[in-house]
Chain A
Amino acid sequence: MDEVTRAQLSRNVAALADGERSAFDPVYRALWPLLVRFIASLSGDRMIAEDIAQQSLLKIFSKVSTFDRSRDALAWSMAIAANEYRSYRRKVNRHEVELDDSVLAGLADPDTPEAAAMRDDLCTAARTVLGKLRPQDLETVIAALYDGRRPPLAAAAFRKRLQRAIAATRLIWKKHYGDGTP
């Protein structure tokens, strides 16, 4: 970003901080691609970058009224985006650690005949349930599970579709195998 555009962004953010609603669209249009590129360079994943850029923009716009006009708007926005990315990384790491601890602790020796039989049963059950899903839900679940080619949707729309697909999967599972309560 050249100096003129950067100064323009700072002016627009200052105007927005002052309550000038007409500066909203220019700030949004200027920041969105910058944030996506910035976070993509940190994460290496375009979808994650779009998600975090969106969260960052929400935070930026909710805090913009307190923006200090002596500061550079771009640096300020990037700092918020970097914080958002750090929070995301922390959340992911914590989730992975929790998953590792709980899953590994509960796992029996995978080579025993009992473990193999359980694994086969689970695979069959999962195939049965997945087979009953609508094609659109199945495509979404597979795309999410195997990091495959995602349907051409915005990140938020894909998340919503995935949430619906998971809810449908749970429902079918409950219908076939109960909900695990006696």
Chain B
Amino acid sequence: MAMEHPDLSLQRARRAYEWGRLRYAAIQSWPVPLLTAVSVVVCHEPALSLAIGGGLWLASLGFFFYGRVAARAAAAGLKAGMIAFILTLLGFYFLCDLFPNLATASLAIDGGIGSGVGLALSMASARMATRSNAFLVLAGVIATPCGMLACVLFGPIGLTGIALGVLLSTAPVVIYRRAVA
């Protein structure tokens, strides 16, 4: 069978597999360019939107390409992030008037959405049989910039608010799990 198993053929198959994974990763990352484009149009800060979107796209591509827990986390992070993105836009247009100033509104709306996303991801990670902490951290890495793409509307306080919200709702879960493990 040595004739049927040339190294060259094995290498070509391996290359085909890796290219296939890259294609798969690009397809799975479809929401990122969409959210970035919406952010560029709506937030009028193209440089910031493109910087966040570019970083997010690279991270998403890398996670899906790598596969395993990273790919599952990226899928969950993108879903949660898209919801955060939509809620943030709705919050900006419909809830800001309820607050005395934009800074308070930013912290309350974006922080609240960030915390919600973090809690949802924590619950999703609880269903993982193994590597639930890795899942939670990686999903947070994807979900946070997704939400941030809409938080550009609120400015730096909004960006900080959502990041803090996700961090404060996921970090205790990670720390607790590590402590009891």
- Determine if chain A interacts with chain B: yes
Chain A positions within 8 Å of B, measured between CB atoms, are 16, 18-20, 24, 28, 32-33, 36, 50, 54, 57-59, 61-66, 152-154, 156-157
Instruction: Establish whether residues B68 and A65, one from each chain, have CB atoms under 8 Å apart when the complex forms.
Output: no
Interface SS of B by simple majority: helix
The interface residues of chain A, by DSSP majority, are classed as: helix
Selected from A64, A152, A156, the residue in CB contact (under 8 A) with B17 is A64
Q: Which residues of B contact A24 (CB under 8 A)?
A: 13-14, 17
Which residue of chain B has its CB nearest to the CB of A46? B4
Report Cα–Cα, A17/B66, bound state, in Å: 11
- Name the CB-closest residue of A to B27: A66
- Is there an interface contact between A28 and B20, defined as CB atoms closer than 8 Å? no
Contacting residues of chain B (130-152) with chain A, CB-CB under 8 angstroms: none
Q: What is the CB-to-nearest-CB distance from A28 to chain B, in angstroms, rounded to a whole number?
A: 6
Q: Which of A58, A65, A153 contacts B13 (CB 8 A)?
A: A58
Q: Given the known A-B contacts A20-B67, A65-B21, A154-B3, are A54 and B16 also in contact in the complex, defined by CB atoms under 8 Å? A: no
User: Which of chain A's residues have a CB closer than 8 A to the CB of B6?
Assistant: 154, 156-157
User: Contact string, B11-25, partner A, CB cutoff 8 A, digits 1/0?
Assistant: 011101101110110
Given A32-B5, A156-B9: A61 and B68 within 8 A (CB)?
Answer: no
User: In the complex, A62→B14 CA distance in Å?
Assistant: 9
Q: Complex: how many Å from CA A64 to CA B23? A: 11
- Least CB distance from B9 to A in Å reads 6
> Is the pair A61, B67 in contact by a Cβ cutoff of 8 Å?
no
For residue B71, which residues in chain A have a CB less than 8 angstroms away from its CB? 18-19
Residues of A within 8 A of B21 (CB): 19, 65
Which residue among B8, B13, B16, B19 has the maximum number of chain A CB atoms within 10 Å of its CB?
A: B13
B20 with A63: CB separation less than 8 A? yes
Q: Evaluate contact between A62 and B66: CB separation under 8 angstroms.
A: no
Contacts of B14 in A (CB 8 A): 24, 61
Closest to B22 in A: A65
Q: Are B68 and A33 in contact (CB under 8 A)?
A: no
CA–CA, A18 to B72, complex, Å?
A: 9
- Rounded to whole Å, the gap between the CB of B43 and the closest CB of chain A is 33
Q: Are B12 and A18 in contact (CB under 8 A)?
A: no
CA distance A63 to B108 in the complex (A): 45
Measured CA separation A17–B23 after assembly (Å): 13
Check A62–B20 contact: CB distance below 8 A. yes
For A154, list chain B residues within 8 Å (CB): 3-4, 6, 8-9
B67:A62 contact, CB within 8 angstroms: no
* Cβ A66 vs Cβ B4 within 8 A: no
A-B contact pairs, 14 of them (CB 8 A): A18-B71, A19-B67, A19-B71, A20-B67, A24-B14, A24-B17, A32-B4, A57-B13, A59-B16, A62-B17, A65-B23, A65-B67, A154-B4, A154-B6
Please state if B8 and A66 are interface contacts (CB–CB under 8 Å): no
Cα–Cα distance between A32 and B10 once the two chains are bound (Å) = 10
Within 8 A of A (CB), among B114-172: none
Pair A28/B4 contact, Cβ less than 8 Å:
no
